[in-house]
Each structure stands twice: as structure tokens, then as C-alpha cells.
């Protein structure tokens, strides 16, 4: 889209901004509640309820990733886990009528403040160079350079991403390392920049646990509970990710197994650092403007 055609005051962008404003407040309030002994489930539900109180809706379940976990970890409905002296990443999303904001912060209770600082400073450095015409490969190189400077590695198989309407991850991918080819950002693009830093090798793989799912395709099932779950998914979450604990049906896990077996929903396994090392994360959502960018989640 040509610059002259982009109206950054349109309803779409105002809803992105409103989602970001809510999210910035909820991120800070939630991070302040993370302490040794606090409940994972209570923290997640606090953030999700607070989003609704402030007029938004969760764009995906609150991710609470511990130590070597990098993404897709959220409490189950009966989760009794509590925080210890760990590295904790909170990844939270808000949408207003399907227009999204996405943010993350590391709360370090593990005694590794430099690892948390590495991802935070990498994000700041990336945002400093963002303007119309910047290539995502240059953003990745900036992120990698900062994290390398701290003596750590970027997580190379996780990326930032675009944010679409009812779509949490769209093009372009925004790498966390230097790559040979990228995408040129244009005025009006809405993207999430999210550096991940680790004291491990820099790759994540899928674990066995799954608590987050999303709709893969339309379909029908005979089972009554699965049908009830599918109705809620289709009407309330659409194509956005949801948690098992959000389903208002008996035997939600069994219903999801049936829907997954029929390729109607797909799961997001928890992603973990390959070698079991710590991972930190920092993320903001930005809108590319004529003279740079606007951080919606600051």
C-alpha cells in the first residue's frame, strides 16, 4: 500500500492503539504481582480478567514461561504451580474487535539480570532503527548484535511477526538474527518485535505439554461436548488461540482431543530451549509511521 493511501487515524489503527494502551497497563500490573510463592493460575486469570475489565479481550491465553520455556506455556484449569527463584516470561495479548496488540516482559527471580537486560536492550535497539523502508534483516542483525554483546545467543527459530485482523501471527517474520534476505517495512504495517535471549545454544524445540489451541478449519463432530466446545471456539475466539481452561463445557480435554483428531483445531506445544538453558524475552507492538514508528504497548 502506498504511503498516501494509509490513514493512521482510521478506526483500525485506533483499535490497535486502544488494545495497546490496555495491554501496557495490564503488563505492568501483572508483572508487579509475580513473586516467589505466587500462583501461576491466579496470575494468568488476573491478567485476563483485568483485560476484560478495561474493555478489551485476551488475544491469546497469558503465556507464563519458566526458565528454559520460551513460549506457549499457560496454566491448566487445576494448575497448582507457584513461582520459585526462576526466570519468568509473561507474554500477553489484547484485541479490540479483532485488532491486536502483543507484548512480553521478563520478570527475573533467578538472579540473572543481565540475561533479562539483553532481550530488553535488543528490543530498544531494534525499535531505534525502525522507519519506513527498513529491512527486517537489518532489524534481526541489530537484535543479534546487542544480545551477542552481552555474551548470550538470540533464539534463532523464534521471530517477531505481523499482526492481522483476528490473526496473531502474519507476515512479515522479523528475525532475531542477521539473515540474507528480509522484508521492507512500510507505513501502516503493524508488527510485534520480540527478541529472545538465552545462555544456551539458541534454538527451541517442542515439548510434550499442550494447553493452547486454535481453530484450524470449519468442521462438524457428533460428540455433544465437542460440538459445544466448537460453537464457543467459533463464536468467541474465531481464529485466535485459546486455553483449554477457557472452554465452558464438561470434559473440555476430551472435547479438544476429538476436535484435534478431526483436524478442526491444532495445539501449540510448549517450546523449550534445546539444552535446558534459560530464556528471556521482551516484546512491543509498533505501527510504522511516516517518520519512524509508534509503540502501542509502551
Task: Point out the annotated binding site.
Answer: 72, 91, 102, 161, 169, 194, 283
User: Among this protein's residues, is 91 annotated catalytic?
Assistant: yes
Looking at residue 2, its pLDDT comes to 43
> What pLDDT, in 10s, does the model give residues 212-253?
999 999 999 999 999 999 999 999 999 999 999 999 998 999
User: Among this protein's residues, is 194 annotated catalytic?
Assistant: yes
Domain identity same for 100 and 224: no
What distance in Å separates the CA atoms of residue 8 and residue 16, rounded to the nearest whole number? Answer: 10
> What pLDDT, in 10s, does the model give residues 263-298?
999 999 999 999 999 999 999 999 999 999 999 999
Domain identity same for 24 and 86: yes
Task: Point out the annotated binding site for substrate.
Answer: 72, 169
Domain identity same for 140 and 219: no
Q: Considering 45, 79, 131, 169, which one is annotated as catalytic? A: 169
Q: Considering 67, 91, 142, 199, which one is annotated as catalytic? A: 91
Q: Into how many domains does the chain fold?
A: 2
Domain identity same for 145 and 254: no
> Could you tell me the end-to-end alpha-carbon distance of the chain, in angstroms, rounded to an integer?
26
User: Among this protein's residues, is 102 annotated catalytic?
Assistant: yes
Mean of pLDDT values over 99-117? 98
**Nearest CA-CA partner of 283 in 107, 119, 73:** 119
User: With contact defined as beta carbons under 8 Å apart, do 175 and 159 qualify?
Assistant: yes
Range of the domain at 196: 3-206+271-295
User: Among this protein's residues, is 21 annotated catalytic?
Assistant: no
User: Is the predicted pLDDT of residue 210 greater than 80, yes or no?
Assistant: yes
Domain identity same for 254 and 121: no
The per-residue pLDDT of the chain, averaged, comes to 97
Mean of pLDDT values over 112-120? 98
**Nearest CA-CA partner of 255 in 232, 234, 229:** 229
Checking DSSP bridges between strand 292-295 and strand 242-243, what pairing results, if any?
Answer: unpaired
E strands in 3-111 = 57-66, 69-71, 87-96, 99-108
Q: 5 pLDDT band (50/70/90 cuts)? A: confident
Looking at residue 184, its pLDDT comes to 98
What is the arrangement of strands in the sheet containing 204-215, beginning at the earlier edge strand? 69-71, 265-273, 204-215, 242-243
Q: Is 175 exposed, middle or buried (0-12, 13-18, 19+ CB in 10 A)?
A: buried
Q: Considering 102, 142, 199, 273, which one is annotated as catalytic? A: 102
Domain identity same for 122 and 147: yes
User: With contact defined as beta carbons under 8 Å apart, do 93 and 23 qualify?
Assistant: yes
User: Is the predicted pLDDT of residue 3 greater than 80, yes or no?
Assistant: no
In 80-119, which positions are buried (b, 16+ CB within 10 angstroms) versus exposed (e)?
Answer: eeebeebbbbbbbbbbbebbbbbbbbbbbbbebeebbbbb
Task: Point out the annotated binding site for a divalent metal cation.
Answer: 91, 102, 161, 194, 283
Query: What residues have CB less than 8 Å from 222, skipping those under 6 apart?
Result: none
Could you tell me the three cell numbers for 11? 478506526
Of 2 and 19, the one with more pLDDT? 19
Q: Any idea what the CATH number is for the domain that residue 232 is in?
A: 1.10.10.10
CA 215, 220, 221, 227 torsion-angle sign: positive
Domain identity same for 35 and 154: yes
Mean of pLDDT values over 50-70? 98
What distance in Å separates the CA atoms of residue 101 and residue 59, rounded to the nearest whole number? Answer: 8
Domain identity same for 47 and 16: yes
Domain identity same for 193 and 236: no
What distance in Å separates the CA atoms of residue 211 and residue 200, rounded to the nearest whole number? Answer: 25
Q: Any idea what the CATH number is for the domain that residue 121 is in?
A: 3.90.230.10
Domain identity same for 152 and 57: yes
Domain identity same for 83 and 197: yes
CA 155, 156, 157, 161 torsion-angle sign: positive
> What pLDDT, in 10s, does the model give residues 66-93?
999 999 999 999 999 999 999 999 999 9
Place of cell 522507519: 131
Amino acid at each position: 500500500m502506498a504511503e498516501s493511501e494509509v490513514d493512521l487515524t482510521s478506526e483500525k489503527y485506533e483499535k490497535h492503539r486502544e488494545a495497546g494502551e490496555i495491554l501496557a497497563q495490564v503488563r505492568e500490573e501483572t508483572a508487579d504481582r509475580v513473586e516467589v510463592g505466587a500462583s501461576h493460575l491466579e496470575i494468568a486469570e488476573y491478567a485476563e480478567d483485568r483485560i476484560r475489565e478495561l474493555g478489551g479481550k485476551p488475544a491469546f491465553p497469558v503465556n507464563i514461561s519458566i526458565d528454559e520455556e520460551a513460549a506457549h506455556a499457560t496454566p491448566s484449569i487445576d494448575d497448582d504451580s507457584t513461582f520459585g527463584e526462576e526466570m519468568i516470561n509473561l507474554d500477553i495479548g489484547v484485541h479490540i474487535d479483532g485488532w491486536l496488540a502483543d507484548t512480553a516482559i521478563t520478570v527475573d527471580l533467578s538472579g540473572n539480570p543481565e540475561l533479562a537486560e539483553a532481550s530488553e536492550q535488543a528490543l530498544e535497539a531494534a525499535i531505534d532503527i525502525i522507519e519506513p523502508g527498513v529491512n527486517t534483516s537489518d532489524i534481526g542483525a541489530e537484535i543479534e548484535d546487542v544480545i551477542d554483546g552481552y555474551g548470550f545467543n538470540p533464539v534463532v527459530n523464534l521471530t517477531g511477526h505481523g499482526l492481522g485482523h483476528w490473526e496473531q501471527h502474519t507476515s512479515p517474520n522479523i528475525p532475531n538474527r542477521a539473515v540474507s534476505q528480509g522484508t521492507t517495512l512500510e507505513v501502516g504495517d503493524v508488527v510485534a518485535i520480540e527478541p529472545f535471549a538465552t545462555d544456551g545454544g539458541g534454538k527451541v524445540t517442542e515439548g510434550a505439554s499442550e494447553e493452547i489451541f486454535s481453530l484450524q478449519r470449519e468442521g462438524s463432530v457428533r460428540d455433544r461436548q465437542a460440538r459445544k466446545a466448537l460453537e464457543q471456539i467459533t463464536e468467541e475466539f474465531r481464529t485466535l488461540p485459546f486455553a483449554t481452561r477457557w472452554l465452558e463445557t464438561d470434559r473440555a480435554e476430551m472435547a479438544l482431543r476429538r476436535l484435534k483428531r478431526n483436524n478442526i483445531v491444532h495445539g501449540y506445544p510448549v517450546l523449550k530451549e534445546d539444552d535446558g538453558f534459560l530464556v528471556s524475552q521482551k516484546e512491543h507492538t509498533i505501527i510504522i509511521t511516516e517518520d519512524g514508528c509508534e509503540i502501542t504497548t509502551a
